[in-house]
Amino acid sequence: MADGKVPMGAPPANQPPPVAYPQGAPPPYAQGPPQPAPYPQAGGYPQAQQTTVVVQQPGYGLGPMPGSTMRYRTAPALIICQHCNATVTTTMTYETGLLTWAAAGIICLFGCWLGCCLIPFCIDASKDVTHSCPNCKQIVGKFRQFS
C-alpha cells in the first residue's frame, strides 16, 4: 500500500463507503428517479367550476306571427300565406316605383336625355318589389325603394 496501489474491492480514498441494505430490499433508485407527489385534491387547492354556455343560432321564421307585420325585401321570403295557409316561398314581380322615376329625372338633369335616362327602367334594383303566393296567386306584401 505504500506504493500507492489500492487493494481490489476497497473504495477509493475520496468516496464514502457503500451502504449496506437489508437482505432482499432494493436500493432506493432501482426503479428510477423518485416521482413528485401529486397535487393535493381534498382540502388543497380549490377546484375550478366548469360552466357550459349554450348559444342558440337564430332560425328562419315562417312569415309574420298573428298580429305582427313582416318586412319584405328584394329577396324571396319563406312565409305561411295568410290567404291559403300554405308554407311557400314568395314569387316576386318588379314594378316601376318612385326610385326609378327619380333616377331617370336626375340622369336627364345631367344632360343624358337621349336614351341614357331610360336605364333605371331596365334595372330591377331600382324598382319596387311585389311579393305574391305561388299557390293562391294573392299579393302578400310589397317592398318599396322609397316609402
The residue among 82, 78, 55, 50 whose CA lies nearest residue 68 is 82
What DSSP state is assigned to residue 100? Answer: H
Q: Would you state the pLDDT for residue 18? A: 66
pLDDT greater than 70 at residue 15: no
Cα dihedral 10, 16, 18, 22 sign: positive
**What is the model's pLDDT at position 116?**
86
User: Cα separation of 103 and 123, whole Å?
Assistant: 11
In this prediction, residues 119-123 reach a mean pLDDT of 92
Taking a C-beta distance cutoff of 8 angstroms, is the pair 80, 62 a contact? yes
Q: Where are the alpha helices (DSSP H) in the chain?
A: 98-109
State pLDDT tens for residues 125-147.
999 999 999 999 999 999 988 76
The DSSP 8-state label assigned to residue 32 in this structure reads: S
Least confident of 9-18, 60-69, 100-109, 111-120: 60-69
> Does residue 23 register a pLDDT over 70?
no
Question: What 3-state class would DSSP assign to 137?
Answer: coil
Q: What percent of the chain has pLDDT over 70?
A: 54
- The answer to whether 72 touches 129, Cβ cutoff 8 Å, is yes
What is the mean predicted confidence (pLDDT) over 101-117? 87
Output the pTM of the full model: 0.51
1-10, 45-54, 59-68, 98-107: least confidently modelled range: 59-68
**In the predicted model, what is the mean pLDDT of residues 14-37?**
63
Residues in the chain: 147
Backbone phi and psi for residue 79, each to the nearest 5 degrees, phi listed first: -135, 170
